[in-house]
């Protein structure tokens, strides 16, 4: 990446953000709704929120749950998806299950899960886990299915056993597609993190957000939304960096967001 490229590549996203803020500020001034404070008032809350130990603790708590749910989901979903892609039997077993679970909004399961596991970490982590698992399974499955058979044959001719081939040929060959699923999973992890905390209020980003909403602290509400958005942006940016580094060898699957390629 040349220095010239980095300095101009950051410009369009910056302009987009500024444009959005300007629109928000304008809308707030024009419509004068109490539920829509002007952008500058919400943004003024940001330093206070980010300096507040309590708020920081809640953000960290949310991120911790998200990381655990996300990590566990990857540990399960990638192997399941890859196995499905290479074995018709395994695919025939899992496919109907996934078809049933896929369209259900995971947050809608939250009240039921809370009956089993309570309002604590376990329920929220499980919902995040479910939200992340499905796209990762799906894309791992597609990626594994598309692996060129002759690649596996070449490895077999070198004496590689089937299970080894799954780890050392299918996994790397499917990796670009797996990463597409993981990126979707990352966004869903963030969404399910917030909604789970909205339903099971106890701690976390969603808890602050919705408690502030109840107390009509609208500038805090919007400041929290900005923080969540920023969190998503940073996580996605870090993930794209990791991906670009790990699968630099691959033909591009999709063009990555402007400026990060």
Partner 1 sequence: MIAIEGLSKSFETARRSSHTALADISLNVAAGEFVSILGPSGCGKSTLLYIVGGFVPPTEGTVAVNGKPVTGPGPDRGPVFQEFALFPWKTVLGNVMYGLLERGMARSKAEERARALIGLVHLKGYEHFYPKELSGGMKQRVAIARTLAYGPSILLMDEPFGALDAHTRTGLQNELLDIWERDRKTVLFVTHSVEEAVFLSDRVVVLTRSPGRIKQTVAIGLSRPRRRAQLLVDRRYQTLVVDIERLMDAPEEAP
Q: Which of 28, 127, 173, 208 binds partner 1 (CB under 8 A)?
A: 173
In whole angstroms, how close is the CB of 166 to partner 1 at the nearest point?
15
Regarding 261 and contact with partner 1 (CB under 8 A), the answer is no
Regarding 157 and contact with partner 1 (CB under 8 A), the answer is yes
Q: Considering Cα of 182, then 187, then 190, then 192, what sign does the dihedral take?
A: negative
Regarding 153 and contact with partner 1 (CB under 8 A), the answer is yes
In whole angstroms, how close is the CB of 170 to partner 1 at the nearest point?
11
Q: Considering Cα of 223, then 122, then 69, then 104, what sign does the dihedral take?
A: negative
Q: Which of 68, 91, 247, 253 binds partner 1 (CB under 8 A)?
A: 247
Task: Give the C-alpha separation, 222 to 166, whole Å.
Answer: 46
CB neighbour class for 217 (10 Å; exposed up to 12, middle 13-18, buried from 19):
middle
DSSP assignment, residue 36? Answer: S
Regarding 253 and contact with partner 1 (CB under 8 A), the answer is no
Regarding 117 and contact with partner 1 (CB under 8 A), the answer is no
Taking phi over 0 as left and psi of -120 to 50 as alpha, with beta for the rest, 32 belongs to left
- Which residues, 6+ apart, have CB-to-CB distance to 205 below 8 Å? 58, 59, 62, 193, 194, 197, 224, 227, 228, 231
Regarding 172 and contact with partner 1 (CB under 8 A), the answer is yes
Regarding 151 and contact with partner 1 (CB under 8 A), the answer is yes
Closer residue to partner 1 in complex, CB, 6/261: 261
Q: Which of 68, 107, 237, 250 binds partner 1 (CB under 8 A)?
A: 250
Regarding 88 and contact with partner 1 (CB under 8 A), the answer is no
> Which residue, among 180, 256, 187, has the nearest Cα to 228 in the 3D structure?
187
Contact positions toward partner 1, by CB under 8 A?
148, 150-151, 153-160, 169, 172-173, 175, 247-251
């Amino acid at each position: 990446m040349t220095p010239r490229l980095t300095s101009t590549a950051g410009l369009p996203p910056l302009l987009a953000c500024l444009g959005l803020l300007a629109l928000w500020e304008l809308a707030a001034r024009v419509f004068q709704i109490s539920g829509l404070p002007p952008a500058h008032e919400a943004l003024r809350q940001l330093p206070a929120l980010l300096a507040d130990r309590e708020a920081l603790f809640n953000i960290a708590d949310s991120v911790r749950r998200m990381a655990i749910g996300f990590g566990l989901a990857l540990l399960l979903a990638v192997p399941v998806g890859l196995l499905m892609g290479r074995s018709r039997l395994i695919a025939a077993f899992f496919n109907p299950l996934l078809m049933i679970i896929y369209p259900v909004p995971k947050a809608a399961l939250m009240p039921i899960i809370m009956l089993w596991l309570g309002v604590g970490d376990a329920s929220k982590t499980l919902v995040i886990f479910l939200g992340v698992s499905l796209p990762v399974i799906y894309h791992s499955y597609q990626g594994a299915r598309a692996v060129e058979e002759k690649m596996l044959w070449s490895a077999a001719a070198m004496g590689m056993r089937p299970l080894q081939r799954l780890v050392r040929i299918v996994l790397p060959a499917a990796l670009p597609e797996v990463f597409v699923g993981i990126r979707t999973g990352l966004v869903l992890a963030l969404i399910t993190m917030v909604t789970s905390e909205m339903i099971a209020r106890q701690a976390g980003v969603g808890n602050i957000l919705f408690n502030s909403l109840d107390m009509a602290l609208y500038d805090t509400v919007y400041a929290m939304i900005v923080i969540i958005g920023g969190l998503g942006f940073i996580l996605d940016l870090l993930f794209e960096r990791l991906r670009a580094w790990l699968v630099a060898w691959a033909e591009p699957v999709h063009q990555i967001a402007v400026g990060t390629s």
